[in-house]
Amino acid sequence: MEKKKQITFWSITCGVPVILGILMGIVFNMGKATGIFPVAWMFLPAAGVMLGQLAVAKDDPDGILPNKGFIYTFLATGIAEILCCILTIFVDNPEVEALGGLDMMSLVGNGIFMIGSIICLILVLADKKDRREKYGLSFKKPVTSILVILLFVVLYFARIFVPAFIEYAITGEFEDLGINAGGILNFVTLPFMFFLTFLPYFGEEYGWRHFLQPRLMNKFGKRLGVLILGIIWGLWHLPINLFFYSPETALQSIIFQVVACICFAFYFAWAYKKSELNIWVVTAIHFLNNNMGALFGAGDGSDNVYTWSVVLLGSLSYIVFLCLPFVFSKVFSSKGEPEKIKA
């Protein structure tokens, strides 16, 4: 059963991106927007877990999510996002200036995963607490969980403001961080928006943290397992770096991505362990990381141009604030019991 789960997980999580990456390259070279592709990407890790669970369901009836409605809604949403990616080859995909330049297909995709998020949230809340606990979907240790999320917010801002203050101390000039009224409004609404848009972030975290992390930790040791996970996670983004994040400076973007994912992997693993394997904690942190940039007027994350100095300084900030404070934590001690496998 385990072998079948692993084969299914890796086939979906890493096999489908090869196909999507080729399609993404075609769309990019056609001069069309590729913003819908990263959204579809995010559904793949959890889809790999769920399809693997369904594949062994007859032999392992307890190895599925709380109810099949959740699985089918999630998978249907992910398939719809992939279909949107395919459609970008055949239809015009104009940008909507009134929505900050968001392309039409991304707008459709966002609407689809918002509907999917609402349905899945209702299905989870309607399930019994003991069943949510059994399948790793319960919200445990609420105080600790909230504190872990708030700590990430503090570290996020520290990673931005501390270098800015250092620059001010050296040059006497304070960098314009782009904060405005619209950004503040977007930031304030993030807690509400999480419940409407959590599904893609859950898609990554249920795959990386819930399924893969404990297996890598048990096989390679806890710190090395998380390091390997971070590298895999970073390289998994490669086509997105090439055709969305930073087409002009793809090499710098890929290196920066891998470093960032390694650092995030350590904080996320620490947070996941501290919250007693609360998948919603890392899902919320992932959501916040991808969306708090709105406070500073950040766009959709596309067409960045990275110099090597930006990569170096940015990597150092990730290492200092998200990796070093946690990598030596007791949660990564080689002593103790093996990690629990729940999927």
Q: Tens digits of per-residue pLDDT, 58-92?
A: 777 666 666 788 999 999 999 999 999 999 999 98
Token digits of residue 24: 């993404």
Q: Tens digits of per-residue pLDDT, 167-212?
A: 767 776 666 666 777 778 888 899 999 999 999 999 999 999 999 9
Nearest to 261 by CA among 314, 199, 190: 314
Q: Enumerate residues 6+ apart whose C-beta is below 8 A from 11.
A: 48
pLDDT at 325: 95
What's at 127, amino acid-wise?
D
In the chain, the percentage of residues whose pLDDT exceeds 90 is 70
- Least-confidence region, from 165-179, 227-241, 252-266: 165-179
Q: Which domain holds residue 235?
A: 2-332
What's at 116, amino acid-wise?
G
Flag whether 121 is in a domain.
Answer: yes
Flag whether 337 is in a domain.
Answer: no
Flag whether 27 is in a domain.
Answer: yes
Flag whether 341 is in a domain.
Answer: no
Q: For residue 318, how far is the Cα from the chain centroid? A: 16
Flag whether 320 is in a domain.
Answer: yes
DSSP three-state, residue 307: coil
- pLDDT higher than threshold 90 for residue 31: yes
Q: Is residue 9 within 8 Å of residue 204, measured between CB atoms?
A: no
Flag whether 268 is in a domain.
Answer: yes
Flag whether 339 is in a domain.
Answer: no
pLDDT band at 228; cut points 50, 70, 90:
very high
More confident residue, 127 or 26: 26
Number of domains in the chain: 1
Flag whether 88 is in a domain.
Answer: yes
In the structure, how many helices (H) and strands (E) does the chain have? 17, 2
Please compute the mean of the pLDDT values over residues 153-174 and round it to a whole number: 81
Q: Over 222-250, what HEC string results?
A: HHHHHHHHHHHHHHHCHHHHHHHHCCCCH
First to last CA, the chain: 11
